[in-house]
Structure formats: C-alpha cells, structure tokens
Structure 1
Amino acid sequence: MHTVWKGAISFGLVHVPVKMFSATEDKDISMRLIHKRCGSPIAYVRQCKTCEVDVEWEDIAKGYEYEKGRFVLFEKEELDQLGSDGNKTIKIVDFVDLHEIDPIYFQKTYYLSPDQAGGNAYNLLLEAMKQSGRIGIAHISIRSKSSLAAIRVMDNCLAMETIFYPDEIRPISQVPGLPDKVEVNDKELSMAAMLIDQLTTPFEPEQYKDDYRARLMDLIGKKIAGEEVHVAPEQQRTNVVDLMAALQASLEAVKPAGGDEDKSGKAKPAAKKKTARKKAE
C-alpha cells in the first residue's frame, strides 16, 4: 500500500506515530474524451483568457471570489500555515459510541499503522479502544483541508474515517416534495412488511457485485476483439404502477418453494435471504 500521510495520533498526553493508507479504491472504469475525427485524446490546458497564453503551475495562485470578478489571492505557504498546528497530528478530543453517529457523516476510510518506534503506544490505544467499545472523534488536516475524523478498531488495526462537519450536512427540510403527513394503505403496509421480512439477512458484502462494471468490461473486450456489438433497445415503461401487484410479485419471487403459508394465509418470515433466493430461482 502507498503511504498517503505520516503523523501521529494524540489523546491526552499520549503520542502515537502512525502512517496512513487508503482503505478503499475506486474501481470505476476510466474513460478518455476522444476526437471522433482523428481518434486522438482531448487535452486540457490551463489558459488565461485575458493574456491568451498557457499558464504554468508556478504562475498560478489560489483566489477567493468575494465579489463578481474580484479576488483575494493566497500563496500555498499562506494556506499551509493556517493548518500548521494540526497538519501532522490526529488529535482525539472525545470518545463516543459508534451508533450515535449517523452514516450521512462518513466520507472516506483510511487504515493507520504504527510508525517508527510507536508500536507500544499503538497497541495500547488499540486495546484500550477495543475494551471500551468506543470510537475517538478527532481533528485532522489532510492536503490543507481540515476535517473531523472517527478513529475506530477494525480487527487489529486502527481505522480513521473522515466525517463531515455538521454545517456541511444539508437539512432534510430543503428536500422538495416530501409529504407533510404519511398515509398508507394498511394492507399494502402489511405486505411491504412481509416483503422486508422475507429479504432480511445478515450483511455479507462479498455477495454484492458491480454488474454494470462487469458488463462494461465485457463490452470493451468485444470491441477490442473487433466483434460487432448489438444493444437491445430498452423496453418502454409505463408510469402507472399497480402497487399491490408489485408487492405481490415481489413476495412471490422470494417465497420458498413448496408453500410457506400458515393457516391464516400469511407468509412465514424466511430465516435467511439466501435460502429464499435459491428456492425462488
């Protein structure tokens, strides 16, 4: 793994030197923009519209537009100095229970490993957090961006997840079209609850695959091999949906074979989603 950051975790007077590694990787298939006429990739240039010249990186500063067309400029050193106190320290300020944090706050996950002679302090923090069952809330600055972070234990590794500040979360009240009062049909609600029960299973992430990426890679392989590709036209969909029929069909799709109803005619909840799926298939 490539080290993306080096510094230390601090809690109280304890200082834990650590290295940081990205815990996730983007598997999206990258596409280039190509000029159809000649097949060449399109290049992006940094150009000044006023001077009509290409601009090198050393001639570029960052600017904040406080009025239309008016900027205050900052050199890289000025911005680096603002975060100098926290640039190399993950400062834990509180310990909380993980369930108290809504998933909307989480951004990106990193693994932290002990650095230099920090093994003992790393193990101490790791074991103390394991026994407490709590996670640490910390301040960190990565690439000149200040962020909150959650430090937690994953197996025998400390993991850090950057999290949004509260004022970065948009309020639900801004979402258009939400109902003032939720009203549902009792029979439909009962069937929906049965469907949820049928599909309930322990979370096993390895069973979920990126089908779009697999199809795209297959299509890329065919194009490379020079095969003619035919894409079936998408069937026209109607906007009118029979909710009861959709719920009933969904229940039938996950209902175990051989009957799974009690005397009242209600479907018994499935113990595991996998069993229901296999029998339905």
Structure 2
Amino acid sequence: MQTVWKGAVSFGLVNVPVKMFSATHDNDIPMKMLHKEFNVPIQYHRTCPKCEENVSWNEIVKGYEYEPGHFVTFEKKELEKLASETSREIRILDFVDLSEIDPIYYQKTYYLAPEESGEHAYNLLVEALLDTKKIGIANVSIRSKSSLAAIRIVDGVLSMSTMYYAEEIRPKEQIPNLPKQTKVDERELEMARMLIDQLAASFEPEKYEDEYRERLMDAIEDKVEGKEVKYAPEEKKTNVIDLMDALKASLKQSKDATGAKQGESGKSEIKAASKPAAKRTSKPKAKSSTRSSTSKSAKATSASKTAAKPRRRKTGS
C-alpha cells in the first residue's frame, strides 16, 4: 500500500506523527477510448490554441480567471508556499459526536498509521476517542487542497475522512421543482411505514454487489471468447397512478420475498444438519422406524455416508 501523505495529528500541544493510506479504491473496470476503425487508443495532447504547438508540463502554470479572458497565474512553488504552513499537520479543532454530522459532508476516507516514534501517542489517541465516543474535526491540506476532516476510529484504526466546508454544500433553495409540503394521507403513511418495517435490516456491506460490474465482466469474457453478448429483456413498467395500490403491491411483494428467504433459510439449515459436509450425488433411501435403537441408527448413517459419492464442485473462472 502506497503512502499518500506524511505529517502529524495534533490536538492541544500533543503531536502524533502519522502516515496516510487510502482506505478505499476505485473498482471500476478500466475502459480506453479507441478509434472505431482501427481499434487503436486515442492520444490526447496539450495544445496551445494560440500558437497551435504542443505544450510540455514545464511550460504550464495554473491561473485564476478573474475576468473573462484575464488571468492571474501561479507557479507550482508559489502554491506550495501558500499551503506549507498547514500541509504537514492535521490540526484537530473540536471533538464532536459522530451522529451530529450529516453524510453529505463526507468525501474520501484514509487510514492513518503511526510513525515509529509516535506509536505511544497514536495508541493514546485511539483509546481516548473510543472511551469518549467522540470524533475530531480538523483542518488539513493535501496536494494544495484544504478541507475539513473527521478523525475517528474504524476497526481499531485511526482514520481521516475529508469533508466539505459548509459553504461548499449547495442550499436546498437552489433545487428546482421541489414539491410543496402538503398533509399526507394517514392510510398511505401507515402503509409506507409497514413497507419500511418489512425492508428494515442491519447494514451488512458484504451483501451488496456491483451488479453492473458483474454483467460487464461477463460480457467482456464472452467477447474475448468470441461469443455473442446476450442482453436481458427490459422490464416493462406500468404507470401505477394510485399510490395506495402501489404501496399494497410493494408490501405483498416484500412479504412474499421475506417468506421465500425464510423458507430457503429453513431448508438449508435442515439440510446442513442432516447432510455430511461433502455433497452427495444421490440420497440413499432408508426406512425410518421409531422403534429402531440408537446403535442401529448410527450404523445406518455410517453406511449411507460410505455409500454416497461426493459431487465434484464446478469452479467458475
């Protein structure tokens, strides 16, 4: 894992030297832009529209357009000097409750690992945050970009989530076509609550999958093997005008799905309890008798295990 940043977490007069690592990664399937005729990747060039020449990186500066067509420019070193005062410090300003922060403020999360000289202070901060159930709100600058940050514990590891400033959050007044608040029908509200209760569950991130990515990978494999890519037919959605009918249909669908899952879960538990670990191609028929002794039952079970052949599990690519 590559180090993104080195510096220190500070609160009061305490400094905790840390290294920063990205806690997440982009799992998108990379695609290149190709010329359709030749299947060759397209190249991009940095071209000046005035002289029509390609521009090298050492000839490029950053600029701010204060009027149309008028810029003030900054060299890379100038921007580094402006950021240098806080670029190596995550300065905690306040400690707050996590529940007070709306998720709209969060950007990207990083793990913080201690430098060798800062292990004691690192462990102290971790334990203090766990004991108080607080998170730190800090200022940080990474790659000349200043942002707020939430310092909290994730699975026993000190982490930092960059955040937007309040002025970066667009006010709701800018959202067009928001519906006016009207009195909700009590029957519809009760049905909506029932539907939410039916779909309520504990958050288990492992059970959510990127379905588009799976379909795309299957399509890529089919194309590599020269197979025709087959697409699932689009579902025809009917325009349900009556909201109550839509709620009732959703509730029924949710109950049916819940019942099916519970049935499958119950069957799998029964099978798991009755079957050995290895899968069998056939089940030996045995006559059950309430009068049979425990020793006879054990012998029958042992014999059925010996007779059954495990089925070789097919592995997918």
Q: TM over 0.5: same fold? A: yes
Give me the whole-angstrom Cα distance separating, in 2, the residues matched to 1:232 and 1:49.
Answer: 46
- In the alignment, is residue 216 of structure 1 matched against residue 199 of structure 2? no
**1:183 Cα deviation after fit:** 3.1
How many percent of aligned residue pairs carry the same amino acid?
Answer: 59
1:27 matched to which residue of 2? 27
Residues in 1 aligned to 2:9 and 2:219: alpha-carbon distance in whole angstroms: 46
SS of 1:221 mapped into structure 2: helix
Aligned partners of 2:95 and 2:134 also within 8 Å: yes
Task: Please list the CA deviations of residues 235-259 of structure 1 after superposition, one character each: whole Å capped at 9, or x if unmatched.
Answer: 55454544222212211122169xx
The aligned amino acid for 1:38 is F
**Structure 1: distance between partners of 2:99 and 2:248:** 34
Higher relative CO (Cα under 8 Å, sequence separation at least 6) belongs to 1
Q: Which consecutive unaligned segments of at least 5 residues does structure 2 have?
A: 265-317
> How many residue pairs align between the two structures?
264
Cα distance in 2 between the residues matched to 1:2 and 1:72: 35
Instruction: Confirm or deny: 8 A CA contact 2:46 2:55 kept in the other structure.
Output: yes
Runs of 4+ in 1 over 6 A off after TM superposition: none
Over residues 78-103 of structure 1, what are the superposed CA-to-partner deviations in whole Å (9 max), with x where a residue is unaligned?
11111111111101111111111111
What is residue 36 of structure 2 aligned with on the other side? Answer: 36
Structure-to-structure mapping, 1:107-256, within 5 angstroms: 107-255=107-255
Distance 1:41 1:247 in 2: 50
Q: Summarize the alignment of residues 85-96 of structure 1 with structure 2, pairs less than 5 Å apart.
A: 85-96=85-96
- Are the counterparts in 2 of residues 93 and 138 from structure 1 also a CA contact under 8 Å? yes
Q: Which has the larger radius of gyration?
A: 2
Q: Residue type matched to 2:127 in 1?
A: E
- How far does the alpha carbon of each residue in 1:193-247 deviate from its partner, in whole angstroms, 9 at most, with x for none? 1000111111111111111110110011100110012334535545454422221
Aligned partner letter, 2:173: S
Q: Which residue of the partner structure matches residue 70 of structure 1?
A: 70
Q: How big is the shift at 1:188?
A: 1.6
Given that residues 64 and 71 in structure 1 are in contact (C-alpha distance below 8 angstroms), is that contact kept between their aligned partners in structure 2? Answer: yes
Q: 1:276 to 1:57 in 2, by over 3 A?
A: farther
Helix, strand or coil: the match of 1:107?
strand
3-state SS of 1:118 partner: helix
Q: Give, in whole Å, the separation in 1 of the partners of 2:135 and 2:182.
A: 36
- Shift in CA distance, 37/9, structure 1 to aligned 2, threshold 3 Å: same
SS across alignment from 1:66: strand
Counterpart secondary structure, 1:212: helix
Instruction: Check the 8 A contact 2:110/2:159 in 1, yes or no.
Output: yes
Aligned residue number for residue 277 of structure 2: none
- How big is each residue's C-alpha offset from its partner over 1:91-131, in whole Å with a ceiling of 9 and x where there is no partner? 11111111111111011000001013100010111111111
Q: Distance between the aligned counterparts of 2:256 and 2:35, measured in 1?
A: 53
Match of 1:20, SS? strand
Q: Is the 8 A contact 2:240 2:246 kept in 1?
A: no
Amino acid at match of 1:189: L
Q: Quote the residue 2:261 is aligned against.
A: 278
SS at match of 1:117: helix
- For normalisation by structure 2, the TM-score amounts to 0.79
Contact (CA 8 Å) 1:253, 1:280: kept in 2 or not?
no
SS at match of 1:53: coil
For residues 49 and 162 of structure 1, the distance between their equivalents in structure 2, rounded to whole angstroms, comes to 37
Aligned AA (1:171): P
Q: Give the TM-score of the pair, scaled to structure 1.
A: 0.89
SS in structure 2 at match of 1:78: helix
* Residue 29 of structure 1: how far off its partner (Å): 1.3
